[in-house]
Structure 1
């Protein structure tokens, strides 16, 4: 008890005395909060009002309410927004969120603001990992700001090898679309090629079963997205910057998704279409979320996809065998790192490069099996480790020796 008394006297004041004392003595005024720059404050308030409009528009899109989707925008852009609305609904949009990417900046006219907006979207699957999309917009401020301009997304470069490059203009931003949905795929094209959708969907579903076996890290894609491009769309979608020898590609759109685009000539041969679908969907299954690798890994990436395209067929039945033989017996220096064809390469040279990559990966698969080769792909393409660092760890062989064996095999295989 005496100890308690000592503590009370030494470290506390009776409550009644404390209250009277506080009431009798003036307290210093609170320090004033830092004053925000008026321009920044105004921009922040505009951003809040625009965010509310974006939320209303998103809710309208997901509800199928076209009138509500258009209501946030000036009538001058309603036609373009109607096309986008229709395309997104065709693609079974299940998630659509728009948020300011930074603060808006004043535009040329009073009351107008430019704002970069980042959208996140999902198709078909309501709980998919969303893909991001960055676009520039123009608004006229007010109680309910009005959208004056919605630009198309543009290609952005990869920064420092660590920031995902934006793919470029997406099909539903610039084209009317018709779409079909299967269990594992969603396929789309323009109305001019509507009659090709049923066959494309059937073949895509078959290719997806093959591609699922080429996942090297994580789960299979939630759903493969495939677009067939006519001549006009081929030059416009995703930037349209494809080499002359290109016939299809898989492009990273973020969120772990790769859109697959088939070129105008894809339907010239049904067998070729099947091979291309297996090849490109294998890319969507095997490539990492971010495009970090350098060109030295091209042979491994494309060789694996070519193996999927071949789908177990013998080397003798490989469509590109003749150009591959010419390539390997020609000026090839025997280095796998140098197989990437030049942008201005002839179609025959490009096919030969792909064929050599296919034979190299096939050799590794036959010698070491799928599990080890997939581990090698993950280490080199996903984890950015060079082959000489991981070859002994995975294959039990030094890379210099294994590379030499692989080159020898290529030359024998085309005899």
Structure 2
């Protein structure tokens, strides 16, 4: 599942996260942008199945009368060679070599130029593209194929992330050239910001922050606050050491609706989601800090990044996930001084909330006070556990529940030495007592 967090109107932040199985069922409907592109036979399957035996055969130049597969195999090898050259050029800082794969008369050139600048600014350390599927004819002298890229930022030896996107190629007098580049079409995390937006980047000791040129003036402020937030988020790392680095994308209005698929609930101010390897990206809505504290919001979201397993959180742990993020964001504020306490009172008194914690949920169209109240309930429950058992045990409980996927009662007995039914009742009582 993908973890996403956002912001209530009158206060700080709210979070949303969806199971990957559910999100994968949501089809991203962005139209391909490749030049001369027609509907491909399917993003998940090539026009012909590519077999290891077929790939092992040397591809010869096709001649008149050859089957279409012969041409496709030959083109696949030429495309692969062009991509390999392009990847090396990116890593060496050779912009001309990176752009050389594109037809100068096509929109692909401008796309690649922007990507080169953004990727270099983000300190790309690995870029290994491949095109294993056989290309499909999409018009006269045009072929479409999928490209998969394993890539890393900052870390030379990271566990790479992977994206897959469509490309369109054509024969020119200068040889086979790229004429169309489509955004990656993952249903929950595409397109990545650097694919579709020119980025300006600031890098600190622990954080890379990227935004658009229009928001360049806010970049240093976001980086300063993110560096401070990283020191807090590091302390809450679950399942291993803290992230080697954090990536924060600061989104304008248009980018917020497009980056990583867009389509977040209106109350969301930020979110964190796993993007492959061990990386969890954080996205902040630039409009949200007008009604949210940027420092709190970054601590909240970056704590998600330091606690999240690579496959996301189970939905049943929503209260725990958000409660720990709120603990980091608020610094363990007493119930009376917690910013969301009024909304908690409203949920408890007007809605009659009485648990259990695992049933705590937020609808996409929930009112701001409902969202803030649900977050506050999670926070107060986690604070109750931390006061009784200490934060290390709470984090161990989170690891058992979200990384090791233990049943909640088994995790509770193993970490706290008590059945969950008892602790749930105590947490609910603590929340209701704090609500007055």
When the two structures are superposed, what TM-score results if normalisation uses the length of structure 2? Answer: 0.80
Say yes or no: does 1:84 pair with 2:104.
no
Report matched runs for 1:319-338 at 5 Å.
319-331=339-351, 332-338=353-359
Question: Which one has a bigger Cα radius of gyration?
Answer: 1
Cross-structure match for 2:148: 118
Matched residues in 2 for 1:226 and 1:275: separation? 14
Say yes or no: does 1:212 pair with 2:227.
no
Residue of structure 1 aligned with 2:278, choices 256, 265, 271: 256
Residue of structure 2 aligned with 1:193, choices 206, 215, 225: 215
Report matched runs for 1:285-304 at 5 Å.
285-291=306-312, 293-304=313-324
For residues 102-150 of structure 1, the C-alpha deviation after alignment (integer angstroms, 9 at most, x for no partner) is 4223223254332211112222222222211111112236895321211
Residue of structure 2 aligned with 1:229, choices 251, 273, 276: 251
Partner SS, residue 107 of structure 1: strand
Say yes or no: does 1:307 pair with 2:342.
no
CA deviation after TM superposition for structure 1 residue 58, in Å? 0.8
Matched residues in 2 for 1:317 and 1:235: separation? 34
Cross-structure match for 1:393: 414
Q: How many residues align?
A: 371
Q: CA RMSD in A?
A: 2.2
Partner SS, residue 220 of structure 1: coil
Cross-structure match for 1:408: 429
Q: Is the 8 A contact 1:49 1:144 kept in 2?
A: no
Residue of structure 1 aligned with 2:180, choices 128, 137, 149: 149
Q: Is the 8 A contact 2:336 2:434 kept in 1?
A: no
- Which of 388-397 and 349-358 deviates more? 388-397
Cross-structure match for 1:140: 170
Residue of structure 2 aligned with 1:380, choices 387, 394, 401: 401
Cross-structure match for 1:282: 303
Return closer, same or farther for 1:354/1:141 CA change in 2, 3 Å cut-off: same
Say yes or no: does 1:318 pair with 2:318.
no
For residues 225-255 of structure 1, the C-alpha deviation after alignment (integer angstroms, 9 at most, x for no partner) is 0111111211111111111111111121111
For residues 55-110 of structure 1, the C-alpha deviation after alignment (integer angstroms, 9 at most, x for no partner) is 1111111122221111111220211211111111221222211112x422322325
Cross-structure match for 1:179: 201
Q: Is the 8 A contact 2:75 2:135 kept in 1?
A: no
Matched residues in 1 for 2:240 and 2:144: separation? 39
- Which of 276-285 and 60-69 deviates more? 60-69
Partner SS, residue 145 of structure 1: strand
Report matched runs for 1:341-360 at 5 Å.
341-360=362-381
CA deviation after TM superposition for structure 1 residue 371, in Å? 2.2
Matched residues in 1 for 2:370 and 2:79: separation? 52
* Higher RCO (C-alpha 8 Å, min separation 6): 2
Partner SS, residue 287 of structure 2: helix
Residue of structure 1 aligned with 2:102, choices 73, 96, 111: 73
Matched residues in 1 for 2:242 and 2:69: separation? 45
Cross-structure match for 1:241: 263
Partner SS, residue 281 of structure 2: strand
Residue of structure 1 aligned with 2:91, choices 22, 38, 62: 62
Matched residues in 2 for 1:168 and 1:384: separation? 27
Q: Is the 8 A contact 1:248 1:260 kept in 2?
A: yes
Unpaired runs of 5+ residues, structure 1, are 1-32, 157-165
Partner SS, residue 120 of structure 1: strand
- Structure with more of its chain in helix, by fraction: 1
Cross-structure match for 2:22: none
Q: Is the 8 A contact 2:354 2:428 kept in 1?
A: no
Matched residues in 2 for 1:287 and 1:130: separation? 17
Partner SS, residue 303 of structure 2: helix
Return closer, same or farther for 1:144/1:367 CA change in 2, 3 Å cut-off: farther
Q: Is the 8 A contact 1:116 1:137 kept in 2?
A: yes
Return closer, same or farther for 1:369/1:39 CA change in 2, 3 Å cut-off: farther
Say yes or no: does 1:52 pair with 2:81.
yes
